[in-house]
Structure 1
């Protein structure tokens, strides 16, 4: 599957680039540095961290024709036609090839070709891609003349390519070729200090006229949630919340984070004159918040608190939280 980016999407990317938008400061710095690079750029990171958005932003910053951005999901390439889909074919190259066909690479002439989920690219195709990256030339299926193309290759994966190399599912030479310029996108849980700003940014993008805002309880909930789906999950929850919100203030229930909010409400500390009791209450509240954040995964909660499992379970017993 592939598509060419539309101008509306480019416009949104332009605005995001100019404002810093959803990017961490470090990623924003990398994109500006790599804007003039013609070599392949690889984005890595968990699903939903914004790899495709970064690819579009890099294309915008490169000053190549805005509407000539071709995106290909490598995992969706048809096994029997994969060579033809990427490199094209000549008339008569195989049964059913009634005319010459341009592949995705040729369609991205003078633009950018985004190879999403490159870790899923069939092993047999990887050597052809490596040859193209090294020479800038390729052959259509059934062709005998090399075709030179000026296109910027951008790739992305949420897979562990190093492990794929060890397992024999990814070529080591291609792995090293892709890692000349590699940018890892951080998961949302490592950017919790930015999440209020990110949520406000997305709410404005979702509906710039209605000025939705998060309630105090909703802000506490998004700070405690683990966000396994990263930025994409945050956007989807905010879209839902804008539909279900009663009025312009979004609650944890609108975000489907009511369980976390309820747990947090039970942990709000009350003033107590006895310092020891206050410390115990604070420690108990911290344990409960860590458990809620990690969806009752006790080992993960202990890691978050930077304590051993033995200490964690001793504290659970002390505060009768088992």
Structure 2
């Protein structure tokens, strides 16, 4: 039997009762608090191994109580949860020092696994306390509501942002075009201690090679034709803040060498000058290509890759986080029709979730913006969406056709594989739910997973 003490802080009696029954069945000892102030007092009295805290409570929010608890004893892991889990709540919680963040209703197995992990960590900290100089993340502050997404994959991304934001570490963000790399870079900057400094963005792929070096490092008057006066470069402008290098994979070899020097020494020279300039800019780079492959193919310097890839954040494509389509769609409806309280029909939302989203979040935003212009009434319907699932089938068909042949079996297998993938993704790989959603039995689903070599 376990004897570890857990404190539950939630203003809903039914929620407290459910958690008590579950945790006591698992062998834990439990004490209860109905608000933040009570949680703080009982933590002082009992020093629990873990605190479970609801974010939305009267008088003092869970985040406010969390910050106070971290001041009392920052060794106690605090797991926060809420039924209002939207946007950047995971960042706010992790930045305030939470051990983890869960949305209500949570999966019981995941919930117990997080508690077990928190207790193990607490015990390890206690064992190593005399020799440990571990720091927490409580110095981080909250951010505006710019990131939308409630899927587990996006929550994991947001937790990484919460961990790295307060550092000056160079970050490499990888993800397909339109997946939201710039939004994540912006969040890192807004969370950092350089948040009051400039946030300078450079799209390396949008500038010709002849101009990019001057754009990044500046130039002196007369350095080249049409250089009529001195110009400060983006690194100079970003001093004391953050510079975001988008599509860094497109940099020419000569520019890669100069960027490597900046990363090594934080110094550079303007074009046409021998004067060395020092910069205090934090560097965040982004790429829509696999830089490891680019290095292997000789298109990108290996030493520069390792300098950029100190901390890696990978943004999942929208098709791998179908759960985010609902909150994203509602966010874009509010963004492009802020005073009209537009709604979306269940049929339209299902249709959006069935699309493969090659353009990711950017494509979804464009489609919703167009729909708000063309739709009639207050409800966005399926007919208002400028996408066609026929294009998915056409792409599959075109990829298999050869000299007019129609390989029907291959096309059917491809469609079947796609539907099974969507069913598994939509249910977070809960195979029982996926089988019910697809209208097949679990044995057949397992067989198809093996047949198509599908992996979570």
TM-score (norm. length: structure 1): 0.75
Q: Take 1:199 and 1:295, find their aligned partners in 2: how far apart are those partners?
A: 27
**Alignment partner, residue 145 of structure 2:** 16
Q: Deviations over 1:212-258 (max 9, x none)?
A: 1111210220121111111111111111111121101111111124x
CA contact (8 A) 1:224 1:293 kept: no
Query: Shift in Å at residue 308 of structure 1?
Result: 6.7
Change (3 A) 1:186 1:300: farther
Q: Take 2:149 and 2:300, find their aligned partners in 1: how far apart are those partners?
A: 31
Q: What value does the CA root-mean-square deviation take over the aligned residues?
A: 2.7
**Alignment partner, residue 211 of structure 2:** 81
Change (3 A) 1:255 1:146: same
Query: Shift in Å at residue 149 of structure 1?
Result: 0.8
Q: Which of 299, 304, 317 is equivalent to 1:169?
A: 299
SS of the residue 2:313 aligns to: strand
Runs of 5+ consecutive residues of structure 2 not aligned to the other structure: 1-141, 400-410, 422-446
Task: Please say if 1:201 is aligned against 2:331.
Answer: yes
TM-score (norm. length: structure 2): 0.54
Q: Take 1:293 and 1:87, find their aligned partners in 2: how far apart are those partners?
A: 47
SS of the residue 1:25 aligns to: helix
Change (3 A) 1:249 1:95: closer
Task: Please say if 1:181 is aligned against 2:311.
Answer: yes
Change (3 A) 1:157 1:76: same
Show the 5 A alignment for 1:1-322. Answer: 14-17=143-146, 21-22=148-149, 24-66=154-196, 68-257=198-387, 259-260=388-389, 298=411, 300-304=414-418, 305=420
- From the CA coordinates, give the structure whose radius of gyration is larger: 2
CA contact (8 A) 1:86 1:103 kept: yes
Q: Take 2:241 and 2:414, find their aligned partners in 1: how far apart are those partners?
A: 44
CA contact (8 A) 1:294 1:300 kept: no
**Alignment partner, residue 273 of structure 1:** none
Q: Take 2:393 and 2:323, find their aligned partners in 1: how far apart are those partners?
A: 18
Q: Deviations over 1:59-82 (max 9, x none)?
A: 111142547111111112232233
Change (3 A) 1:66 1:255: farther
Higher mean displacement: 189-198 or 175-184: 189-198
Q: Deviations over 1:127-160 (max 9, x none)?
A: 1101101111111222223211111111111112
Q: Take 2:339 and 2:224, find their aligned partners in 1: how far apart are those partners?
A: 54
Runs of 5+ consecutive residues of structure 1 not aligned to the other structure: 1-12, 264-290, 313-322
SS of the residue 1:42 aligns to: strand
CA contact (8 A) 1:224 1:292 kept: no
